[in-house]
Amino acid sequence: MTEPVTAATEQTSATPQAVVRMDGLRKSFDGRLVLDDVHLAVDRGSIVSIIGQSGGGKSTLMRCVNLLERPDRGRVEVSGEVVHDGGRMVSRDLPRLRRTVGMVFQRFHLFPHLTAVENVVLAQRTAGVPEQEALGRAVALLRRVGVAHRGLAYPEQLSGGEQQRVAIARALALRPDVLLFDEPTSSLDPEATREVLSVMRELAADGMTMLLVTHELPFAREVSDHVVFLDRGRIVEEGHPDDVLGNPAQARTQEFLATYGSTS
């Protein structure tokens, strides 16, 4: 593995610096509050997992990081730069913001008319990476996620697990400061889930900063530095994974775990 995928592995700063910081985030849809005073920080090199029931606001929260969703109130900081404050866009350079934030979705979102390699090259081309370099990086990243042999295949010729690994390679291509994963394995079968989790585990071991939403609670417990239980738009409980997932203090968290399965 020679490809330097993340600035995080190159940084040796002793004081952790938040790559993502959200303060007092609020968001409503049609007058209905879906994020209610959410505070969240993801330090460089750390892994934060968000868990919670369907409709609780997890995807909305993730989407607020790169302003795919604009919060109504609160402050969003990415890589030390305030990008949104008090309902106002501060950074107007959305393309640059999105280059620092890699995103992996539940449903892959690969371009169907492009091969795996071309999917990984395209993002770089848009960002101005020279063609040869983009191609080299794409091949190295596909190798890294274990699908280099499928580089010339189109998405519909790939299994779900392969498509998601291509999507991860694409998200890594611009060497983002942080990777966001929104339920990356929930449309996959158990074997493909294992493959994707194994890639994510390697990224974690390499020091990638990650914010993820997952229902894979044993995985969240294993890799996370911090777990956040988001319920109806509010953070009900957060802390060390062994506490939140193994010995939760709040009745709501206990109820949730009883439904979604305990990890101990």
Nearer to ligand ATP, 55 or 87 (CB): 55
For the chain, helix (H) and strand (E) counts, in that order, are 10, 11
Selection from ligand ATP, Mg ion, none that 34 binds (CB < 5 to 8 A by kind) is ligand ATP
- Interface with Mg ion, residue 49, by CB under 5 A: no
Count of residues near ligand ATP by CB under 6 A: 11
63: which strand partners? none
- Across 213-232, b (16+ Cβ under 10 Å) vs e yields bbebbebbbebbbbbbbbbe
- Interface with Mg ion, residue 59, by CB under 5 A: yes
Q: Judged by CB under 5 A, which stretch of 22-30, 56-64, 121-129, 135-143 contacts Mg ion?
A: 56-64
The least distance separating ligand ATP from the CB of residue 30, rounded to whole angstroms, comes to 6
Count of residues near Mg ion by CB under 5 A: 2
Selection from Mg ion, ligand ATP, none that 60 binds (CB < 5 to 8 A by kind) is ligand ATP
The least distance separating Mg ion from the CB of residue 69, rounded to whole angstroms, comes to 12
Cβ atoms of residues 9 and 175 within 8 Å: no
Cβ atoms of residues 112 and 122 within 8 Å: no
Q: Pick out residues in 25-84 that bind ligand ATP (CB under 6 A).
A: 29-30, 34, 52, 54-60
Q: How many other CB atoms sit within 10 Å of the CB of residue 4? A: 11
d(CA 43, CA 34): 25
The least distance separating Mg ion from the CB of residue 229, rounded to whole angstroms, comes to 15
For strands 234-239 and 226-231, give the pairing.
antiparallel
The least distance separating ligand ATP from the CB of residue 258, rounded to whole angstroms, comes to 17
Helix (H, G, I), strand (E, B) or coil at 23: strand
d(CA 219, CA 199): 12
The least distance separating ligand ATP from the CB of residue 73, rounded to whole angstroms, comes to 16
Nearer to ligand ATP, 52 or 241 (CB): 52
DSSP string, 31-77: TEEEEEEEEEEEETT-EEEEE--TTSSHHHHHHHHTTSS--SEEEEE
4: nearest Cα among 212, 210, 208 = 208
Selection from Mg ion, ligand ATP, none that 10 binds (CB < 5 to 8 A by kind) is none
Nearer to Mg ion, 59 or 119 (CB): 59
The least distance separating Mg ion from the CB of residue 56, rounded to whole angstroms, comes to 8
Residues that bind Mg ion (CB under 5 A): 58-59
Residues that bind ligand ATP (CB under 6 A): 29-30, 34, 52, 54-60
